Amino acid sequence: MDPDYLTGTQCVLRDIPESDYPALQAIENSVRLEADDDLPYPQTPDAIEKMATMKAPDHCFGIYVSHELAGSVAVFGVDFLHQHAKVGIAISPDFQHRGLGTDALTVMMNFCFAQMPLHKIKLTVFVDNIAAIHCYEKLGFQLAGRFKDEYFRNGRFIDLLAYELMRSDWLAK
């Protein structure tokens, strides 16, 4: 049974079993994520296992819709001294544009602010990911900065936007 606090209106967040690693790899590679230096693109099976088995306080959850893996959401870079962390999300193209990202991030923000002594959650997004930007702003994330020409992708440089969400703003919603 899944804990109530990890259940949204459309999804449940839970640990990702090894049997779902191939599906997670397909999702991660289909959405062409911002690559972490520790997670190469395209994602390898070893990188997927590393992501799915993050050590506490970092954690990666599968986003499940009717028991089907629809994506992942992670809290990482947790810094208890300065009380901030980063989040990242990937939604399968088959599940995009349905509000699932908003639902999964709502569950994740509730988890982060209820279960961890965090003051701020941060994330980054490519400037051309309009759907994700809309989702983040709808949830209350505020634009904190812009990194010009941060990544070289598909033959061109692309800007990266930094967003932040303060605990007080989340709790005031």
| pLDDT mean over 60-64 | 96
pLDDT score recorded for residue 5: 63
pTM: 0.91
pLDDT per position as a tens digit, 1-39: 456 569 999 999 999 999 999 999 999 888 765 544 444
Average pLDDT of the chain?
Answer: 90
pLDDT in tens, 106-143: 999 999 999 999 999 999 999 999 999 999 999 999 99
- 139 CB neighbour count, 10 Å cutoff: 19
d(CA 167, CA 173): 10
Contacts of 71 (CB under 8 A, 6+ apart): 27, 62, 63, 89, 90, 91, 92, 95, 100, 101, 104
Query: Over 80: is that where the pLDDT of 75 sits?
Result: yes
- The whole-number average pLDDT for the span 92-101 is 95
Quick check: 70 pLDDT over 50?
yes
Mean per-residue pLDDT for 66-81?
Answer: 96
Residue 2 is predicted with a pLDDT of 55
The structure tokens listed for 166 are 């303060």
Structure tokens, 133? 């930007």
Instruction: Give percent of the chain above pLDDT 90.
Output: 77
What pLDDT does 83 receive?
97
> What is 4-172's CATH topology?
Aminopeptidase (3.40.630)
Q: Where are the domains of the chain?
A: 4-172
Percent of the chain with pLDDT over 70: 91
